[in-house]
Structure 1
Amino acid sequence: MEAVLLAHVETQVRNRAVQQLLFADADRAAAFLAYHVEPRLTAIVDRARAENTVRHDFTADIPLFAYAAGRVAADLPGTGAGFAHRHLELLIEGLAPVPVPPPLPRLGLRGVAARRRQDAAVSGR
């Protein structure tokens, strides 16, 4: 999935006409994406979720992410490509599955009091 995002943004960075074509007419672009692109992206995202490489709540929002990163590139000529890549890196990092912490032990009141005494002894209080 990361490769798909990077390729899409790279295409927009290298060829501004692609971005203009994709997003000049928002309604037409949305219809095109929904019909031609979204089913493929959904399959990619479903596979990534099954492989536990993205968050379980992530959906096929790739066009939105690619558009945002592409706009950064287009709006900042010269330096935009670097910023677009950084923007995309942050988005991709945010999509990583969040590890579920192990459940806290059920200590009960005696256990909590014992843990507090133990923590106080370690810290010297």
Structure 2
Amino acid sequence: MLPVNGGTQESIYIHDHLKVMQEDPHSYNSLRILSQTAKGYIGQCHCCTRFNFAYGNVLFLFTEDGLRGFQSILYDQYHLHSPGEALPHGKTRLLPSPIPNFMLSFDDTELEEIRTMFQEALLVLEVDKIFSYKK
């Protein structure tokens, strides 16, 4: 990436999103939970169009398009990598991120659980759209 204003595009992107989170007046506890497991959830903010995907110790903020895009990556073997043998902590799937040298790691059970969470959340959104058209 080309440096922009003294940093890379990725570092500026991360900085801008952290700034938005710090300045955001609403609570991250006021979410409509669309799907949930013991390890995470997908929730929709009551007062904006953002979606939270939290799993383990990571939290992603998405638009609806971003949520759908991330789900498609979870099924794309081009993006998901298998290191050949399990990593020392047992993870067998790697998902590179746009941030250099940063990857998410999952085992097969976690990946399937996350895929199911996204399917459930997007199904709820589709049902919402069906009912909103009938009003």
TM-score by length of 1: 0.30
Greater RCO structure (CA 8 Å; 6+ sep): 1
Structure with the higher strand share, 1 or 2: 2
TM-score by length of 2: 0.29
